[in-house]
Amino acid sequence: MTLIVAEVPARLRPALLQMLAACNDEHRVRAAWLEGSFARGGADEWSDIDLHLIVEEPETFGAVEWLGSLMPLVLADAIPGLPGAFICLTPDWLHIDLNLHSLEEELRQETTRQVLVDKDALIPSTSKAGVSPGAPFFRRSRPKSSCI
């Protein structure tokens, strides 16, 4: 898979590449994708990273510890009401929402995703034109519009 590094906002690039490499290397991570502004093609330097992982045995996978082994975290807390979801913040204000999913969980088809890793073809096809499951994709930033 080819990651279009030049299209990832420069401030977010090192962290995203580090997470991508860790997802590929970690045998318990079976799939990873981005949602939110990255998936919609509107990420900028201050966007948060909405990282979703399908992992083997999510109840024993130390998500915060896994992310903390990749980069320093000054905040890592469970998101109330969303089991397996964590809000994380680095010392340089990088905001990562980390969401765990089980192998058995059925993912919604209509959700827009940017697939990073899909080792077992677990991620359903996206309805977004031009995005193929299993292939990483980062759209160029959209032009800035002026406020009237």
CB atoms within 10 A of CB 110: 8
Cα angle 76-7-114, degrees, rounded to a multiple of 5: 60
Is the model's pLDDT at 49 over the cut of 70? yes
> Exposed/middle/buried for 144, CB within 10 Å: 0-12, 13-18, 19+?
exposed
Residues 6+ apart with CB under 8 A from 59: none
Domain boundaries, the chain: 8-118
- Chain centroid to Cα 42, Å, comes to 14
SS3 53: strand
pTM score of the predicted model: 0.82
Is the model's pLDDT at 148 over the cut of 60? no
pLDDT of residue 131: 40
- Say yes or no: domain 8-118 is CATH 3.90.1150.10: no
Contact 101, 84 (CB under 8 A): yes
Is the model's pLDDT at 137 over the cut of 80? no
Percent of the chain topping pLDDT 90: 67
